[in-house]
Amino acid sequence: MKMLLLIIALIFSLAALVPAFADPEPDMAMQDGRAEVKLAWQNQQLLPGQQAMLGVIFDIQPLWHIQAGKGSGDDLPPYIPTSIKVTVADGWETGKIIWPTAHIFTIGEGEFMETLAGYEGEVLAAVPIDVPSDAQPGEYEVLVSVVYQACDDKSCEMPLEFEIEGKAVVVAERDDAASEAESDIAALFAATLGVVKSTTPSIKTGWWGEIAVLLLAALGGFLLNLTPCVLPVIPLKIMSLAQQAQGNRSKTLALGIAMCAGVTSFWLGLGVAVGSISEFTTNELFQYPAFPITVGVVIALMAIGMCGLFTMQLPQWVYKINPGHDSYHGSFAFGIMTAVLSTPCTAPFMGAAIAGSVGQSLTTVLLVFGSVGMGMSLPYFVLAAWPQLIAKMPRTGPASVLIKQVMGLLMLAAAAYFIGVGISSSVAELGKPASLVYWWAVAAMLIAAGGWLGLKTFAISKSSLQRSVFGGVGLLIIVVAFAGARILTDKGPIPWKYYTADERLQDELEDGKVVVLKFTAGWCVNCLLLEKTVFRTDALIELLLRDDVTPMKVDISNKKAPGTKLLAKYWRSIPYLVILRPDGSVAFEADWYTANDVISGIEAALSTQAAIEDP
């Protein structure tokens, strides 16, 4: 299952672009036919008292290299390394240059062949520059002296030395629109500084790009049916359709279409919300404890009915959402409920496609969300259109009763989850982890389902094959439930600190520590998946236990949680991870990541900070 999720996440991440920094306007450039050199700021608008990054970009022609940077550790004498010297205004200070990764290349042939380290293609060297706290708004001149030696596969040319004039623009307050403009140069800064951001696909790539995003959204919607949030309730509708298939086929199709309309209308409703309220996300539904608790109660009532345990007449509205009720409004309501159940599992399946629509026109937003709904409802439409696909399901007898009872117990497990996360988030204390004891209630229902399946199979069937298969499935459910509860409730080896206010985060940064911010919530299934897999890697645990690294959880289970505002500073939904250098700058951020990604991000933050502190 973990591998499937990672593959799916990779599919969606291929659509992601990286609008990480500003859209810098390169200053005056120098070109000698072998390389063009120009200047660009990581952020065009500099603030007093903050550190800025000046990029020196080398656009090297094909078949040519330039020597590795001086002081980078990659230069191999006797050839001349690339050097950069920056002259700034009085009171401004420059730090140690952060060089890009060098590549090994050779020149000459035979006994005259030599191995060198250098750069090829387009690379960027970053120069940290501290802006004085008393700097007044305005333009300041910057002079950059560059020396480099170009080599091809045969020999190296004489070194070239020149100067480039640039300017730094200091403002009292940044214009967010200018500060966050998309830029190809942003990728060069990211490669040098070790910044990674996995975000959203751009749908401004022509009609083919828009179609690709819609297809991704539809595929993501389809895959939502396979998540633990939705999977337990699917058999209910399948059995309902199977019952209708015995009679009027046209009505079966109509009921299936009604359910599909319910699924799609829910996502279109979210699309309207996203298009109208820029800060709305589906995750926000679960930040109100009453919502998951209500969902859990409704599922529990349906589950009890499935198990045949009703001994009193329920209110009529309960029966209207019963998936076995042959009414159009019942099927429509069931479709809405199915879509609602999927919201805690939306990332990473189609989170990129949905987030990519944010800020677009309402038409585009509705197309994306409508595609999610149609993709999710597709299996139900297929079953309704071709009921022969489910005609072999047991209709009557002990086997049919057993299926209903087991599915009812599985639904009770889902109900325990939703009610548990709602109660847990509502009673959680600030600065302390929310209780995960509800996972044992979930496990108890699963164990009951597995045990009942095995016992009743032996009671109603004499077939050795059926006893082996269904008995084995029941035993597997029991083992997985018990092991899963142990894993999910285990605190783990990492001593997480908990975000309570900006001051707590700032204290860690002022102590010179790299801070790993893990945004999470008790109801976020994908957050738990990442925590129980990615953060159990020995190499990553060793890094997180360092004295100069602070792992910090930011819980947004409740709408009132202080971490909600902090998340909005970086992204819109969870799971999300941000790694901060001690100066507060971002070294790594992503919504889906591997252990190696996090390790690389922490190492980049540590090495970059060390380079700045030791010019």
Residues with Cβ within 8 Å of 470's Cβ and at least 6 positions away in sequence, in order, are 453, 454, 457, 461
CA distance 571 to 525: 18
CA-to-CA dists, residue 76 to 72, 81, 155, angstroms: 11, 8, 15
Span 154-210, pLDDT tens digits: 888 888 999 999 999 999 877 654 554 445 677 788 777 765 444 333 334 445 556
What confidence score (pLDDT) does residue 241 get?
63
Could you say which DSSP state residue 343 is in? G
CATH of the domain spanning 30-195:
2.60.40.10
Residue ranges, CATH 2.60.40.10, the chain: 30-195
Cβ pair 356, 368 in contact under 8 A:
yes
Q: In this predicted structure, which of 164-168, 225-229, 278-282, 468-472 has the lowest mean pLDDT?
A: 278-282
Superfamily (CATH) of domain 497-613? Glutaredoxin (3.40.30.10)
| 97 phi, psi to nearest 5 deg | -65, 135
Q: CA Rg, the chain, in Å?
A: 29
Q: Which residue has the tokens 């059995």?
A: 239
In this prediction, residue 87 carries a pLDDT of: 93
Asked which of 234-238, 390-394, 404-408, 553-557 is least confident by mean pLDDT, the reply is 390-394
Q: What is the DSSP track for 202-256? A: ---S-HHHHHHHHHHHHHHHHHGGGSTTTGGGHHHHHHHHHHHHTS-HHHHHHHH
Q: How many helices (H) and strands (E) does the chain have?
A: 19, 19
Would you list the DSSP string of 529-598?
Answer: HHHHHGGG-HHHHHHHTSTTEEEEEEE-SSTT-THHHHHHHH-SSSSEEEEE-TTS-EEEEESS--HHHH
Mean pLDDT value across the chain: 76
One-letter amino acid of 557:
S
Looking at the chain, which residues constitute the CATH 3.40.30.10 domain(s)?
497-613
214-240 residue pLDDT tens = 777 787 777 777 655 566 666 666 666
What stretches of 277-346 show up as alpha helix (H) in DSSP? Answer: 290-306, 316-320, 328-342
When comparing pLDDT for 129 and 315, which is higher? 129
Question: Of 123-127, 303-307, 487-491, which gets the smallest average pLDDT?
Answer: 303-307
Task: Convert the pLDDT of each residue in 119-142 to its tens digit.
Answer: 988 899 999 898 998 899 999 999
C-alpha span between 612 and 174 (Å, rounded): 24
Residue 395 has pLDDT above 60, yes or no: no
User: C-alpha angle 181/346/358, rounded to 5°?
Assistant: 30
**Residue percentage of the chain with pLDDT more than 70:** 71
DSSP assignments along 116-158, one per residue:
EEEE-SEEEEEEEEEPPTTPPSEEEEEEEEEEE-EE-SS-BPP
pLDDT: which is higher, 241 or 161: 161
Quote the pLDDT of residue 306.
60
Task: Give tens-digit pLDDT for 19-73.
Answer: 333 334 445 555 667 889 999 998 888 888 887 889 999 999 988 999 988 876 6
Lowest mean pLDDT among 232-241, 387-396, 553-562: 387-396
Q: How confident is the model at residue 402 (pLDDT cuts 50, 70, 90)?
A: confident
